[in-house]
Amino acid sequence: MTVALDVQAVQVAIPHHRTSVLAVTDVAFTIEQGEALGLVGESGSGKSLTLRALMGILPPRTSQEALRLSYGEAAGHRMAMIFQEPLAAMSPTKRVQDLIAEGVMATRSVPRRAARARALELMAEVGIPQPAQRARAWPHELSGGLRQRVVIAMALATDPTVLLCDEPTTALDVTVQDQILGLLDQLRRDRGMAILFVSHDLAVVATLCQRIAVMYAGQIIEVGSTHDVLRTPKHPYTAALLQASRSRSGVQTSRPIGGSPPAPETFAEGCRFADRCRAAKDVCRTAPYRLATVAQQHATACVRVDELGRDVL
Ligand SMILES: Nc1ncnc2c1ncn2[C@@H]1O[C@H](COP(=O)(O)OP(=O)(O)OP(=O)(O)O)[C@@H](O)[C@H]1O
Ligand SMILES: [Mg+2]
């Protein structure tokens, strides 16, 4: 296996009154070539800030306190990112072929004609029917699903080895969501592209990703294969997320997670989930954060993992 992206540390500060606080603190992970890693967690856990820090497009007034990453051995590594709202990524005054061609020209030194021809190929690759007819369409003329395909083509135009996806299917209806997930999966396999896929929805992540990292209050609290994380979660927060998502799909009785995640200015020492955790003991409030390996390729930040039974996990 070849590492496509090795993230050793991401820390992001956000403004708070006259000072700043860290909203993303302990984020580190690797993604292999041709692998999709899902990043899941409740709203506000720091998923978007993490991706924006990696991409170098943090919002104004936020700042990168640490960013250490390296790519695998192969040369020419590049990241591209797609967002929840495709229209925001597209200039309204450019036709779709030109939007895609611009990415091609920015990456390969080719004349406009060749870039526009390449744009048509990319439109076909992302499953846009009759690319030649759609080439002169304006972004606002397209359906949500087609817009997201155009945005994916714009990303592919830069020949990315790593594709960062921030909830790219959340705004789409379920059928179109499945089609876009299918497309991303195909691109991963065909191109050997690495994907970092952010979603608050475990079920969505599980369909696309081989591994899952769970984020809570600015930290990754569990990471493992999709199979292991779903079948044998090793952190009470992951188990609670699973309960909540199963109850939504009606498979099991409802057990929503009580309380709400802490705001960055209130991040405490020890486990940040302790206040909402049914299994928390004193040690949880003092033990420093550490992602410890509990099984092959499966790690958790829960210090009490060995003592917890199936009622919690
Ligand atoms: N531009 C900003 N200025 C100030 N605070 C911000 C900014 N962007 C994010 N935050 C704060 O940083 C924390 C992490 O936000 P982030 O957007 O990364 O969460 P998220 O996991 O992507 O959530 P969601 O699922 O709602 O998209 C939150 O507390 C949020 O309020
Ligand atoms: Mg977000």
47 CA from centroid of ligand 2 (Å): 6
Looking at residues 43-67, what average pLDDT do you find? 96
**21, 45, 54, 166, best to mutate for ligand 1 pocket (most atoms within 8 Å of CB):** 45
What pLDDT does 180 receive? 96
The protein residue with its alpha carbon nearest to ligand 1, atom 6, reads: 14
**H helical segments located in 14-143:** 47-55, 96-107, 112-125, 131-134
Distance CA 174, CA 194 (A): 24
Distance of CA 12 to the CA centre of its chain: 16
Question: Rounded to two decimals, what is the model's pTM?
Answer: 0.95
User: What atom of ligand 1 comes closest to residue 263's alpha carbon?
Assistant: 29
Q: Which ligand is nearest to the CA of 214?
A: 1
What pLDDT does 150 receive? 97
What pLDDT does 244 receive? 85
- pLDDT band at residue 128 under the 50/70/90 scheme: very high
Shared domain check, 148 and 201: no
Shared domain check, 165 and 64: yes
Residue 313 domain-assigned?
no
23 CA from centroid of ligand 1 (Å): 8
Shared domain check, 220 and 297: yes
Beta bridge partners of 36: 195
Looking at residues 43-64, what average pLDDT do you find? 96
Residue 127 domain-assigned?
yes
Which residues have a Cβ under 8 Å from the Cβ of 121 and sit 6 or more positions away? none
Shared domain check, 216 and 183: yes
What pLDDT does 74 receive? 63
What pLDDT does 289 receive? 97
Looking at residues 68-81, what average pLDDT do you find? 85
Shared domain check, 199 and 117: no
Shared domain check, 130 and 242: no
What pLDDT does 75 receive? 65
Domains identified in the chain, total number: 2
59 CA from centroid of ligand 1 (Å): 10
Cα dist. 208→22, 177, 182, 311 in Å? 30, 11, 8, 28
What pLDDT does 129 receive? 94
The protein residue with its alpha carbon nearest to ligand 1, atom 28, reads: 44
Distance CA 107, CA 115 (A): 10
What pLDDT does 72 receive? 81
Of 160, 182, 215, which residue sits at a domain end?
160
What pLDDT does 77 receive? 86
Quick one: 192 exposed, middle or buried, by C-beta within 10 A (0-12, 13-18, 19+)? Answer: middle
| pLDDT tens per residue, range 221-267 | 999 999 999 999 999 999 999 988 876 555 555 567 888 999 999 99
Distance CA 117, CA 207 (A): 33
Distance CA 221, CA 235 (A): 7
| pLDDT tens per residue, range 147-159 | 999 999 999 999 9
85 CA from centroid of ligand 1 (Å): 16
Residue 79, pLDDT above cutoff 70: yes
Shared domain check, 205 and 260: yes
- pLDDT band at residue 73 under the 50/70/90 scheme: confident
Q: Are 198 and 48 in contact (CB under 8 A)?
A: yes
Residue 13 domain-assigned?
yes
Shared domain check, 269 and 148: no
Of 142, 160, 178, which residue sits at a domain end?
160
- pLDDT band at residue 311 under the 50/70/90 scheme: confident
Pocket of ligand 1 (CB under 6 A): 14-15, 23, 41, 43-49, 59, 61-62, 200, 263-264
What pLDDT does 92 receive? 92
Shared domain check, 200 and 71: yes
Q: Which ligand is nearest to the CA of 62?
A: 1
Residue 235 domain-assigned?
yes
**11, 17, 42, 47, best to mutate for ligand 1 pocket (most atoms within 8 Å of CB):** 47
Q: Which CATH number covers residue 30?
A: 3.40.50.300
Shared domain check, 266 and 155: no
| pLDDT tens per residue, range 82-123 | 999 999 889 999 999 999 999 999 998 999 999 999 999 999
What is the gyration radius of the CA atoms in the chain, in angstroms? Answer: 20
Distance CA 61, CA 182 (A): 36
Residue type, 203: A
Of 160, 175, 198, which residue sits at a domain end?
160
Looking at residues 134-152, what average pLDDT do you find? 96
Q: Are 125 and 150 in contact (CB under 8 A)?
A: no
Domain that holds residue 166: 3-77+161-307
Shared domain check, 69 and 187: yes
Q: First CA to last CA across the chain, in angstroms? A: 31
Shared domain check, 297 and 240: yes
What pLDDT does 263 receive? 96
| pLDDT tens per residue, range 163-222 | 999 999 998 999 999 999 999 999 999 999 999 999 988 989 999 999 999 999 999 999
Residue 118 domain-assigned?
yes
**152 SS3 class:** helix
Looking at residues 13-19, what average pLDDT do you find? 96
